[in-house]
Amino acid sequence: MSHSVPMTKESFESLQEELKRLIREERPRVIQDIAEARGHGDLSENAEYDAAKNRQSFIEGRIQELQDKLARAYVVDLTNLKPDKVVFGATVTLYDTATEEEVTYRIVGEDEADIKLGKMSCTSPVGKALIGHKLDDTVKVKVPAGLKEYEIIDIKYE
């Protein structure tokens, strides 16, 4: 994959911190655990050694994944934008015409998405449908539960 990965500044910094922690703390710790487990004798029946090797494999895989994402990261700067349309990073308040409820979501990258925290992926059906629309637009979105209709009632860039 060579496409850029859009993310907020907060997400970029969070991934950088996780990468530093894995390299500086977790990797040396698991190397020490492997060395210690080797000292316990026969490796073919050594559960501690197997667990440490599995943990090492996970850590190394995650390090590679983070390095790739950070190398391809495109940090979206919202400071100079005018809130006239929905873009990546915008916080959007929607009026659900079926339930007559208001919901607020921030449009974020896939890694940041957490609907319980009000963070919607820009690649989700609703996220994709909202991007490019303006205040007071009505957006119809096909979701697994059927067709949803939202009215955009507020857009903020925070």
CATH of 5-75, one of 1.10.10.10, 3.40.50.720, 1.20.1270.10, 1.10.287.180: 1.10.287.180
CB contact at 8 A, 70 and 2: no
pTM of the shown model: 0.72
Span 76-110, pLDDT tens digits = 877 766 667 898 888 999 999 888 999 999 999 88
What CATH number labels 90-157?
3.10.50.30
